[in-house]
Structure 1
Amino acid sequence: MTTVYDFKARGIDGKDIDLKQYQGKVLLIVNTASECGFTPQYKGLEAVYEQFAGKGVEVLGFPCNQFGAQEPGSNADIGHFCEANYGVTFPLFDKIDVNGDAAHPLFKHLKSEAPGLMGTEAIKWNFTKFLVRKDGRVYKRYAPQTEPMELVKDIEKLLTE
C-alpha cells in the first residue's frame, strides 16, 4: 500500500526532503498561494502548527501557481512573504502543480485517496487541505474555505488513533 511517506519533495530551500521523516505524525498538507483571497489562512495554519507541533502534528505547505496565477513569486519571495506577513514557521516546499500531467506525485496520491465532491479528483482552488493519519494514510480532504482551526477536532481524533 502506498502512503504519503513513500514520496519525496523539494523544500522551499531547494533541498530534497524524504517524507519518511514525518512518519508517525499527523500531517496537514495544503496547497498554498500568496495572492489569494484565502491567503490569510496562513495565520490559521501557523496557529494549528504552534498548537500541535509538540504533540506530533506537522503542517506542510506546497505553493502552487495553477489557480489564477496567485503564486507568481520565486521560492525566496514566497518564503519571505509567508514569514514576514504571517510568521510562518511550518515547512514550506518548492512551488508545484497539483493538477494536470505535471502534478506532483504526492498530490496525485492525495487526490486519488480523498476525492472531492462527487468523486472528482481535481483540486478546485488554493488552500485545499488534506489530513493524513500517523500511518501515512489519507484521512480526509477539506475545501479551501474550511478554516484551519475547524480541523482541530479531527486532528485531536487522529492523535489518539
Structure 2
Amino acid sequence: MNLDRRAILAGLAASWAAPALPETGPGMSGRTAWSFTFAGLDGKDLRLAAYAPRPVLVVNTASFCGFASQLGGLQALWTAMKPRGLTVIGVPSNDFGGQEPGGSEETAGIARQHGVAFPMAAKVKVLGPDAHPFYRWAAAERPRDLPRWNFHKYLVGADGRLAAVFPTTTDPNASALIAAVEREIAKAG
C-alpha cells in the first residue's frame, strides 16, 4: 500500500511541477492559421490573414527533391483555382535530405524554371522546436499528420483551421485534393 501511495504522490508532484502542455486537437487551441505570417521569398511578408476567408494550400517545398516536379502541378492548380479563391503558398525547407541548401536567389530561380508564380516563403524549418510557428501550430492541431518529407500539403480551410492534410505522394491534381479544395471554396462562398 505504501508503494501505491508513493506512486500517486510522485505523479501528483510531477504534474504540478511540469509545464502546462498546449491544447491540441482540431478547434481546441482557439488560434487559426490567419494569425501567422511567413517572410516572403521576395522579402515581403506573406500574412495568411490577407487570404481569409479563402482556402490556402501550404506546401513545404525543396528545389532538389525528386518530387520537385510537383511545383508545376501546384502552379497549374493555383492557376485553375485562383480565380475561385485558392491560394497556394510554397514554403522551402531544408529539413528533409538537405534538398533546399541554397539561398533565396537560387530557390527563386529554380521555382521560375518550374513556372511558379504563386507566393513563395523564405526558407524555414518545418519540424521540431525551431520550426516556423505555423508548422508548430499545425503539429499541435494535427499531431498525426506531420510532414515526413518535402511537398507535404496542409489545406487551410475558409475558417482558418486545417481542413485536410495530404502527404508528399499526393499529386497536386489528385481528385481527393481537388475535392477538398472545392469544398473549402464552397464554404468561403
TM class, shorter-length = over 0.9
Could you tell me how far apart the structure 2 residues matched to 1:103 and 1:62 are?
12
Bigger CA radius of gyration: 2
Would you say how many aligned residue pairs link Structure 1 and Structure 2?
A: 156
Could you tell me how far apart the structure 2 residues matched to 1:154 and 1:114 are?
17
In structure 1, stretches of 5+ residues that fail to align are none
CA displacement at 1:16 relative to structure 2: 2.5
CA displacement at 1:96 relative to structure 2: 0.2
Say what the alpha-carbon RMSD is for the aligned residues: 1.1
Could you tell me how far apart the structure 2 residues matched to 1:87 and 1:114 are?
31
Query: Residue 36 of structure 1 contacts residue 70 of structure 1 at CA under 8 Å; is this kept in 2?
Result: yes
Could you tell me how far apart the structure 1 residues matched to 2:48 and 2:183 are?
22
Partner of residue 61, structure 1 = 90
Query: Does 1:140 pair with 2:164?
Result: yes
TM-score normalised by the chain length of structure 1: 0.93
Sequence identity percentage: 37
CA displacement at 1:111 relative to structure 2: 2.2
Could you report, residue by residue, the CA deviation over 1:76-133 in whole angstroms, capped at 9, with x for unpaired residues? Answer: 11111111x2110000001000001110000111222233xxx3x5421000000111
Partner of residue 155, structure 1 = 181
Name the amino acid aligned to 1:134: A
In structure 2, stretches of 5+ residues that fail to align are 1-29
Name the amino acid aligned to 1:133: G
Could you tell me how far apart the structure 2 residues matched to 1:102 and 1:38 are?
24
Name the amino acid aligned to 2:155: L
Query: Does 1:113 pair with 2:141?
Result: yes
Query: Residue 147 of structure 2 contacts residue 167 of structure 2 at CA under 8 Å; is this kept in 1?
Result: no
